[in-house]
Amino acid sequence: MDTVGIGFVGAGEVSVMHSRGIQNIPYAKVVGLWNRTASTAERRAREEGCKMYATPEECVNDPEVDAVFVMTNLETHLEYTRMAIEAGKHVLCEKPLCASTEDVRKMKAIADASNVVCMPGHNMIHEEGIFRARDMIQRGDLGKIVSCYVMYNIHHSEERALTLPGTTRHILTHNLYTMMFLAGRPRRISGFQANRHYKELDQEDITLVNVELENGGLAHLCASFAADDLSTAPWTFTIKVIGTKGSTHYTYNDWACAGAGLSHSKTYNAYQDTLSNEVRYFIERCILNGEAPPSTLEDGIWAQMATEAVEKSIAEGITVDVG
């Protein structure tokens, strides 16, 4: 395979960031794209200098396409992932993977029965520091896991939030799979949510979760669009694991530039880097070298089960067992 040809099913904002990652790989290119809104597809095809497909079927069946990035609304992920896998294409599917645990299980069954890679878009783990932290944890360098924190506090306007499925589905998914990658799977979950600044939009702008882990440690997760953290050591996007013998820490704030980003008041360079690193891992290590993804569809199932447990906890005011 001299060049890995990529097809985009869905060509919205996140496709721009994936494209930047592909542009850094000399033996990969965007062959073409399809988008539900034709005007967006036309504009993005001009920007990419690539084909514009009339249908998603045309994209996945193009012989020049080796891998498909599924970046549509989450309710359609299973349909388009199935379509691409059945056409013999590798798939990178954006998170959240599906609307339900049942659908993620179906996606995994389809992928397991194929000879292609299906990698979940769990981009937040794709940092050298996160991989290093996981290695330390797995070697026992940190001792027993005491606590894990995955905190997200980045203000989103009400207009921006209208385009997203809320903090629980859109952001907490990141927190959950990142927690699992580092500290292990959840046993019990208790969740809370609130609306602190939306005036017209009837959905949460902050979700807080407490987790009992299978290994006996505890975790605290925050997904907030309500406000930026303006303190001297902000929890903008922060990951911390504390063990009996040591700790690890990661933050977006070490790589920040003036000027607004896609949704943020600053440009957090590490966010783009996570997507670029994810794309490189998918193409280089999974497609070309046959390695397994660092975060799997099984992790995607657990992240979805945990998300649904959070929603049940909030709706019923109870602590919910996961799994």
pLDDT at residue number 2:
84
pLDDT at residue number 323:
83
Distance CA 211, CA 186 (A): 6
Structure confidence by residue, pLDDT tens digits, 294-314:
999 999 999 999 999 999 999
Distance CA 164, CA 95 (A): 12
pLDDT at residue number 263:
67
Query: Of 64, 98, 121, which residue is a domain's last?
Result: 121
Structure confidence by residue, pLDDT tens digits, 34-78:
999 999 999 999 999 999 999 999 999 999 999 999 999 999 999
Q: How many domains does the chain have?
A: 2
**Residue 213: pLDDT above 90?**
yes
Average pLDDT, the chain: 95
Residue 242 forms part of a structural domain: yes
Read off the tokens for 5: 């040809």
Query: Of 80, 100, 121, which residue is a domain's last?
Result: 121
- For residue 187, the 8-state DSSP code is E
Structure confidence by residue, pLDDT tens digits, 176-186:
999 999 999 99
Residue 281 forms part of a structural domain: no
Mean pLDDT of 126-138: 97
Task: Give 224: exposed, middle or buried? Use CB within 10 Å, 0-12, 13-18, 19+.
Answer: buried
Structure confidence by residue, pLDDT tens digits, 215-247:
999 999 999 999 999 999 999 999 999 999 999
Cβ pair 35, 71 in contact under 8 A: no
**Residue 267: pLDDT above 90?**
no
Q: What is the band of 119 on the pLDDT scale with cuts at 50, 70, 90?
A: very high
- With CA atoms as reference, report the closest residue to 213 among 189, 190, 192: 189
Can you list the alpha helix ranges (DSSP code H) found in 169-285? 173-183, 269-280
Distance CA 311, CA 165 (A): 13
Sign of CA dihedral 237, 183, 128, 249: positive
pLDDT at residue number 262:
66
Q: What is the CATH number of the domain that holds 117?
A: 3.40.50.720
More confident residue, 237 or 256: 237
Phi and psi at 213, nearest 5°, equal: -85, 155
Do 96 and 156 share a structural domain? no
Residue 205 forms part of a structural domain: yes
Mean pLDDT of 291-295: 96
Do 137 and 79 share a structural domain? no
- DSSP H/E element including 188: strand 186-194
Do 141 and 225 share a structural domain? yes
- With CA atoms as reference, report the closest residue to 178 among 311, 71, 303: 303
Do 246 and 185 share a structural domain? yes
Distance CA 21, CA 30 (A): 11
**Ordered strands of the 118-121 beta sheet:** 51-52, 28-34, 4-9, 67-70, 90-94, 118-121
**Three-state secondary-structure class, residue 311:** helix
Task: Give 14: exposed, middle or buried? Use CB within 10 Å, 0-12, 13-18, 19+.
Answer: middle
HSE-CB at 117 with a 13 A cutoff on CA atoms is 25
Mean pLDDT of 183-195: 98
Phi and psi at 95, nearest 5°, equal: -90, 160
- With CA atoms as reference, report the closest residue to 11 among 37, 31, 22: 37
Residue 295 forms part of a structural domain: no
pLDDT at residue number 97:
96
| Containing structural domain, residue 70 | 4-121
pLDDT at residue number 246:
98
| CA 207 distance to own-chain centroid | 17
| pLDDT more than 90, % of the chain | 91
Cβ pair 25, 280 in contact under 8 A: yes
pLDDT at residue number 260:
77
| pLDDT more than 70, % of the chain | 99
